[in-house]
Amino acid sequence: MKNAKILHNPSAGKQEHTKKRLISLVRSNGFDCGYSSTKGIGWKKMKPKPDFIIIAGGDGTVRKIIVELLQKKSKRKLPILLLPLGTANNIAKSLGIEGHIDDIIKHIEKGNLRKFDVGFIKGRKKDQIFLESFGFGVFPELMNRMKEEPEKENVTPEENLKKALEQLYTIVMEYPAKPFTVIVDGVPNTDHYILIEVMNVSSIGPNLNLSNGNPSDGKFELVMIPENQREEFASYISYKIRGIEKSFVPVVIKGKKISINTPAGHMHIDDELKLLKKEKKISIRPEPGMIEFFVQ
């Protein structure tokens, strides 16, 4: 019998996704399993070593666990089953993992694995990685403002997304465009932008569909919104707030080696907000296929 390790964020998702429910679900599908809460002590231990890992949580939980796994530098890659229980679930959506967790868990039986690239960032004191995206402008500003908002109980994911979109609309209308020079595979591009994102997946934050990013192709999409697209981007967000999906096409350049000359200010690495105190030249490259997910 194959053995799984459940790594669960108990704060994510609905109350029905309890420790007892998850263990029961895994065992009813013919697997033995261990369980750890990512809120507790000792979740990083993998003894005895499982045959695969089940991550139950949102994008932040996925990043937290995968960064830990990559730092272990184990020779054997443990395949991952992702049960998306978060608000946006951008990583799961990029892999086509949607639906009820009772159905998603059957992906293990099919054995279909999809490789997932990881982004490496150089230019700061310590090299860092990202799974979803890395960038500057209105999105890290949204993160900065949202962290100051008090959390409310009994709020649905849909309500959280709408609140974030409303805040983002305000930011987009007032955020000053800043000068950036980006170089993609040796080709430079300079302009004033309100958003710069190096994207590995197709959507970020409150499900902003800005890219056709494929996390399995060994490349990134550099997404840029210059000053002259400000009103068009604001209109896209306005429709999204009302539940209407409209197309918006930013400036997109696909490539492997990306460098960004950036002014001082906030930036983000996935869901982590960072502050650059001075101008920097930052380099980004993909490391293909470092992770494997069970998919449909």
First and final C-alpha spacing in the chain? 22
Task: Provide the pLDDT for residue 74.
Answer: 66
Report which of 122, 109, 37 is spatially closest to residue 79, judged by C-alpha positions: 109
Q: What is the dihedral of CA 216, 44, 123, 259, to 10 degrees?
A: 10
Are 150 and 287 a contacting pair, CB within 8 Å?
A: no
At the top level of CATH, which class does the domain 3-111 belong to?
Answer: alpha beta
- Please state, in angstroms and rounded to a whole number, the distance separating the CA atoms of residues 143 and 112: 35
Are 47 and 6 a contacting pair, CB within 8 Å?
A: no
Average pLDDT for 183-197: 96
Report which of 65, 125, 60, 98 is spatially closest to residue 282, judged by C-alpha positions: 125
Task: Provide the pLDDT for residue 194.
Answer: 98
Residue span(s) of the chain under CATH 3.40.50.10330 come to 3-111
Residue pLDDT, tens place only, 81-138: 999 999 899 999 999 999 999 999 999 988 999 999 999 999 887 889 999 999 999 9
- Please state, in angstroms and rounded to a whole number, the distance separating the CA atoms of residues 120 and 28: 39
Instruction: Using pLDDT thresholds of 50, 70 and 90, give the confidence band for residue 172.
Output: very high
Angle at 164 between CA 159 and CA 169, to 5 degrees: 125
Residue 14 clears pLDDT 80, i.e. is over it: no
Residue span(s) of the chain under CATH 2.60.200.40 come to 120-289
Instruction: Using pLDDT thresholds of 50, 70 and 90, give the confidence band for residue 223.
Output: very high
Task: Provide the pLDDT for residue 75.
Answer: 62
Instruction: Using pLDDT thresholds of 50, 70 and 90, give the confidence band for residue 16.
Output: confident
The CATH number of the structural domain formed by 120-289 is 2.60.200.40
Burial class (CB in 10 A: 0-12, 13-18, 19+), 218: middle
Residue that wins the pLDDT comparison between 149 and 291? 291
Residue 1 clears pLDDT 70, i.e. is over it: no
Mean pLDDT (the chain) is 92
